[in-house]
Amino acid sequence: MAAPAATSANAPKETVYVNNLSEKVNQEEMKKSLYAVFAPFGPIIDIVHFKSNKMRGQAFVVFRDVPAASSAVRQMQGFPFYDKPMKLDYAKAKSDATARAPGSPCAREAGDAPPSRPPFRAPPPRAEREERKAGAKKEKAAAPKAPREEAADAEMAAPAAPAAPAAPAAPAANLPNPILFVEDLPDQVNEMMLSMLFSQFPGFKEARAEHSPPRPRAARPLPAGIAFVEFESEMQSGVAMGGLQGFKITPTNLMKITYARR
């Protein structure tokens, strides 16, 4: 993977300074992408990304503890992110989010002014969002209609024509499977990078370049931009697929994820 981080002039701390980021990606998408890449190293309590001309291409990722930040600096130095190698270092000063974290020795007193910016929170996985929408639709459909609405529905209803016998449904071509099939990956992504991205989801087992038992080396390139990612259960693989479907590793590469064929 990436080369080890160079010796830093700044003391290790929870906040990681990220430089050389793409300036073509909007702020919200960049925050989500940074969270997905750095979450495997430990809990993240804040992400700061700048839009001003002076600070463009720079961000701060605030971890809960120093070991997590140190692992990120060491392992992600030079990681190809939106076609540009990331440059990482420890921040020069402690983040306000860290100072206000419960239990922190630098936590502010109760009378201090509240933070001017709320901490970044990762969006819920796509599967969870879809489930909420479906639940809201069911509640709306189950709500009793007013008498006027029922009368209007009766007037507009036409006599139903005899229904033709329904054709048998075709068998599903892609049934739920603990193994996911990932496509449209850029050439610079390897198994180790893919593992770091998917390991934020519960039940993750491994990512590999082919549908076969794992081999010792984990950083092999992915042939033809495809890979298989295995989870412990179908439910867990479905959550991961919903959370990362269409995820942009580069501005032109959107991951396509389906269940692997049995």
pLDDT attached to residue 126: 65
Query: Is residue 197 over pLDDT 60?
Result: yes
Distance CA 44, CA 132 (A): 25
pLDDT tens profile 41-61: 899 999 998 777 788 889 999
Query: Is residue 152 over pLDDT 70?
Result: no
pLDDT attached to residue 139: 75
pLDDT tens profile 217-240: 444 555 667 889 999 998 899 889
Do residues 69 and 15 touch, judged by C-beta distance below 8 A? yes
Q: Which two tokens stand for residue 110?
A: 């109760």
Higher pLDDT, 136 or 98: 136
Task: Please name every residue paired with 129 in a beta bridge, in sequence order, or none if there are none.
Answer: none
Start-end of CATH 3.30.70.330 domains in the chain = 15-100, 179-259
Do residues 47 and 62 touch, judged by C-beta distance below 8 A? yes
Query: Is residue 82 over pLDDT 70?
Result: yes
Query: Is residue 211 over pLDDT 60?
Result: no
- Greatest mean pLDDT among 28-32, 45-49, 158-162 lies in 45-49
Residue 133 to residues 96, 128, 139, 226, Cα–Cα distance (Å):
35, 9, 10, 31
Average pLDDT over residues 193-214: 79
pLDDT attached to residue 167: 45
pLDDT attached to residue 218: 45
Do residues 24 and 36 touch, judged by C-beta distance below 8 A? no
pLDDT attached to residue 151: 56
Query: Is residue 136 over pLDDT 60?
Result: yes
pLDDT attached to residue 89: 94
* Average pLDDT value for the chain: 75
Which of 65-69, 181-185, 186-190 has the weakest average pLDDT? Answer: 186-190
pLDDT attached to residue 73: 93
Q: Which two tokens stand for residue 192?
A: 């180790």
- Greatest mean pLDDT among 18-27, 63-72, 79-88, 196-205 lies in 63-72
Phi, psi of 189 (to 5 degrees): -85, 130
Assign domain 179-259 one CATH number from 1.10.8.50, 3.40.190.170, 3.30.70.330, 1.20.58.110. 3.30.70.330
Higher pLDDT, 216 or 262: 262
Contacts of 112 (CB under 8 A, 6+ apart): none
Task: Please name every residue paired with 259 in a beta bridge, in sequence order, or none if there are none.
Answer: 180
- Looking at domain 15-100, its CATH class is alpha beta
Query: Is residue 87 over pLDDT 70?
Result: yes
Q: How many CA atoms lie within 13 A of 69 on its CB side?
A: 27
Do residues 60 and 97 touch, judged by C-beta distance below 8 A? no
DSSP string, the chain: -PPPPPPPSSPP-SEEEEES--SSS-HHHHHHHHHHHHGGGS-EEEEEE--SGGGTT-EEEEESSHHHHHHHHHHHTT-EETTEE-EEEE-SS--HHHHTSTT-TTPPPTTSPPPSSPPP-PPPPHHHHHHHHHHHHHHHHHSPPPHHHHHHHHHHPPPPPPPPPPPPPPPPSS---SEEEEE---TT-BHHHHHHHHTTSTTEEEEESSSS---S-S--B-GGG-EEEEESSHHHHHHHHHHHTT-EEETTEE-EEEEPP-
How much of the chain, in percent, has pLDDT values that exceed 70?
66
